[in-house]
Structure 1
Amino acid sequence: MTGYVEVVGLRTWHEVSGEGDPLVLLHGGFVGASSFFAQVPALVEAGYRVHVPERRGHAHTPDVEGPVSYSVMADDMVAYLEQEVGAPAHLVGWSDGAVVALLVARRRPDLVARMVLIGQYYNSSGRVAGEELVAYLNSPEAITFLRRAYDPVSPDGPDHFPVVHAKMMHMIATEPEIPLDTLAGITAPTLVLQGDRDEVTVEHSLAVVAALPEARLAVLPGTHTLPLERPELVNPLIVTFLRGTDPAPDWDAFTG
């Protein structure tokens, strides 16, 4: 199923495929459902009903008047989960989507079964030193690249891109600033996943894992685009974690 649903007055594009336990993929900034093209088939094959909603001002979902923030997008996602899923779902958030997932789990732990958070810092202390993300996203090169995805599908039309870009850049420059000591109420088992050359430090991810009641860390070779770079590693790891079954060690391999 692909198309629009009305969620608390917001015309929201989503793509739903497969059968089984609900799994919601939360995309990164400036992109949409298509960014998970390397994950959706594998997750459907693993037996999940995969939802990929596009947030306000992203891809097919129209912008909404007023500023955008992680908090606002988390409210949108809570409403989507209540209306379109109706049961605790697994959340897999990548980049900005990981911030949204974390806020949803903090506000509404009853809506989240298990959670995978990919490649994201949750306050400015977690940014890799020297990372000039804001400068890059303001560059002509980045804007041209982002518009290739936005212009053909946005219902607001290509002329609206500068408005969305300005809103997103303000958010990225000033957020997130989530105190890690506010995460103790999150009950969902959580996998924090990042690349070894990601935009978040391993030390920060370790601190996130320590702040969550039930969390683990995985660091794989790759950058901020890890799910696209190494789906052969990322997808089985997600499925294994969401199933809650770590593979049993092959003791014969150690003992001969």
Structure 2
Amino acid sequence: MTRPSPHRFAILAVASVLAMAAGSPALAQTPAPAPAAASVTARAAPRADAATVEGGEVRYFVHGDLNSGKRPVLVLHGAFMSSDSMKPLTDLITDRPLIVVDQRGHARTGDLPGPITYESLADDAAAVLADAGVGKADVIGYSMGAGAALQLALRHPERVDHLVIASVSFNEAGNLPGFSAMMEGITPEMFAGTPMEAEFRRLSPNPDAFASVVNKIKVMDQGQDWPAEHIRALTSPTFIIVGDHDIVRPEHAVELYRLRGGGDTARASQPFLTEPPPARLAILPGASHVDVFGDPTLLAAMILPFLDDQTRPPPGGLFDDIPGSE
């Protein structure tokens, strides 16, 4: 058997860690399941806009009517992705307005002065909501975008209603051993000729800044340690999603779930949930970091009931006459 070269292995490892392949057919091993035709409603072309932030402007797109009276959903993509990459999921969210961001360093926003940090991404997201005239939104973040979403809730809690965070840790110990060392070994040269580099050059206003962005992203997780007591104090209902073979350890996802009020003994001892719990947890079977975003139909089927504060319908049959099952 021919072994992959160290260079090829590094690229695959980086792709797994950062979910760069999530929007790239050239790298994806299997296509995402096509949603049922009835589940997708035609939507008018999005409105492009830009919010002024420290160092420049952050580009974003508005889908639907922000004045509809329905709570908007803010969508934050992962590292080396873009608003385009989130389309498989956002196409399935048709019953409420969406704000989908090209985060700093990425896509149409491009490289801005200074480092890329979760704190700066969170402040950018708050600026986008303010620019769009939205006081509070539900927030969906994936990978790097989930870190930005969690920081948005920590730094600007008045801006966040429901919080969906997929594949994120709140400290370095939450990631698999060796994650930091692998990130330190990333170089811009590893991406030469890859779809990630090509997509960056296609969308970015400063296409020659790719190396700068790679070097900024490789250090953004170093020293990450967000106080557990601050996370516990959040009031936003929270949905945590990871894969069972994610970069984020399942034990860490459970810890985050408990910090957000999940696993309460009194609630768990009830035969049926009669009110929405403060936290939900999904550990997707047979799913890596990239695979978490590989089935947008499944994600939408879990996320939309959460945003609507729905609980699962009780099973029928033997349970029909149990009090509280109506």
Q: What TM-score, normalized by structure 2, do the two folds share?
A: 0.71
Cα separation, partners in 2 of 1:72 and 1:164, compared to 1, 3 Å: same
Unaligned runs of 5+ residues in structure 1 are: none
CA displacement at 1:140 relative to structure 2: 4.9
Verify: 1:12 aligned to 2:58, yes or no: yes
Q: How many residues align?
A: 252
**Would the aligned equivalents of 2:77 and 2:102 in 1 still touch at CA under 8 Å?**
yes
> Contact between 1:196 and 1:219, CA under 8 Å: does it hold in 2?
yes
- Map of 1:108-127 to 2, 5 A cutoff? 108-127=156-175
Q: Is the 8 A contact 2:89 2:297 kept in 1?
A: no
The CA distance in 2 between the partners of 1:95 and 1:40, in whole Å, is 16
Return the letter of the residue paired with 2:224: P
State yes or no: 1:236 paired with 2:281.
no
Q: Which residue of 2 aligns with 1:31?
A: 81
Q: 1:180 aligns with which of 228, 233, 236?
A: 228
Identity of matched residues, %: 28
**Aligned to 2:123, what secondary structure does the other structure show?**
helix
In the alignment, what sits opposite 1:252?
A: 317
Root-mean-square deviation (Å):
2.2
Q: Considering only CA atoms, is the larger Rg found in Structure 1 or Structure 2?
A: 2
Separation (CA, whole Å) in 2 of partners of 1:130 and 1:206: 21
2:188–2:215 contact (8 Å) kept in structure 1: no
Measured against aligned partners, the alpha-carbon deviations of 1:168-192 in whole angstroms (never above 9, x if no partner) come to 11213x1532122221221100001
CA deviation vs aligned residue, 1:71-96 (integer Å, no higher than 9, x gap): 11111111112221422100001001
Say yes or no: does 1:219 pair with 2:283.
yes
Please give the TM-score of this superposition, normalised by the length of structure 1. 0.89
Larger helix fraction of residues: 1
Q: 2:71 aligns with which of 6, 21, 27?
A: 21
2:40 alignment partner in structure 1: none
Contact 1:11–1:62 at 8 Å: present in 2 too?
Answer: no
2:273 is aligned to none
Deviation at 1:251, TM superposition (A): 2.1
1:155 corresponding residue in structure 2: 205
Distance 1:218 1:190 in 2: 11
- Which shows bigger deviation, 12-21 or 112-121? 12-21
User: Displacement, 1:66?
Assistant: 1.7
CA distance in 1, matches of 2:77, 2:187: 20
